[in-house]
Chains A and B, each alone.
Chain A
Amino acid sequence: MAASGLRALVGVKRVIDYAVKVRVKPDKTGVVTDGVKHSMNPFCEIAVEEAVRLKEKKLVSEVIVVSCGPQQCQETIRTALAMGADRGMHVEIPPKDYENLGPFQVAKILAALAKKEGVNLVLLGKQAIDDDCNQTGQMTAALLDWPQGTFASEVTVDGEHLTVEREIDGGLETVQLKLPAVVTADLRLNEPRYATLPNIMKAKKKKIDVMKASDLGVELTSRVKVLSVEDPPQREAGVKVESVDALVAKLKESGHI
């Protein structure tokens, strides 16, 4: 069957851990990342899990994980390998370029890799919890000229097609895509497994290829400039009132009634 020959490319991003309180740099150029705990973007975990499950169902023959970024990204790739991916690819981006690396540049890298590796399914998280862009999957699909199933909450493979249930405003939409295709994972797609210590140890034997963006013929210049990064406005302190009359007076004063 053709479907058993499916090969999946899964993109993973190393982000500041979801439980960490993010601090903005005093010069407003970004957020503090030094000495801060990082982990795999939760939506990418869901994408990895889905690929591994498809492999366990024998619908996918190989799961390749890729991450773009500095050296430390290899830890994130290892985590994905511990979850069950077959091999990793690390597109090393020097720290200077990494600051300007946006969804467009990553999409170009992913599209180039998808072509190079001859995969027929690209699985990504719907967005990263650090920049919240929600663009990489869509741009990758556009660059490859493949159909896309974004915000997936269920994926089924049947032959040459993929049926994707999508989370849209107010409900679910079911679409059928012809393979090859790009799918981005929403929160309810699955429950990612934990990368256990024995599996992390076993994953050390798996291969990670390291390459540069230029090896793939991808230009990293960005047309987007970050002007300023700022904290969200702080919640103002409330007031305590002594009586109902005082409350009504206060509400009138603030124009609520």
Chain B
Amino acid sequence: MANPLRNEVVNLYKNLLHLGREYPKGAEYFRAHLKAAFLKNKDVKDPEKIKQLIARGEFVIKELEALYYLRKYRAMKQRYYEDEENKHC
């Protein structure tokens, strides 16, 4: 019998895997850690607990998006607005 939350978990994994392609330490590093994190909880059966874990995964997605945004923003700022930064120092 397939768990009704199975689909959600699989989608979460796919979304994270997609985000991991841009991870600063490399996609392979990210994938290994992602897989380990999911395998660690493979025996969780309680639907409430699974929902909690999914919520945690969604949070990680938000964190990663913020990380990528900031990384890009800082790179742009450093390249194109260097004078301004020095002024504030």
Interface residues, chain A, CB within 8 Å of chain B?
A: 18-19, 42-43, 129, 187, 191-194, 196-198, 200
Contact = CB atoms under 8 A, between A and B. Distances in A.
Contact of B65 (A19, A187, A194): A194
B72 interface: yes
Contact of B15 (A42, A187, A196): A196
Interface stretch (B35-43, B47-55, B74-82): B74-82
Interface in B52-69: 61, 65, 68-69
Nearest to B69: A191
A19 B75 contact: yes
Interface of B: 11, 14-15, 18-19, 61, 65, 68-69, 71-73, 75-77, 79-81
A122 B81 CA distance: 25
B65 A197 contact: no
A36 to B, nearest CB: 15
Nearest to A197: B18
Contacts of A193: 65
B68 A187 contact: no
B69 A192 contact: yes
A19 B75 CA distance: 8
Contacts of A43: 76
A18 B75 contact: yes
B77 to A, nearest CB: 7
B69 A18 contact: no
B59 to A, nearest CB: 14
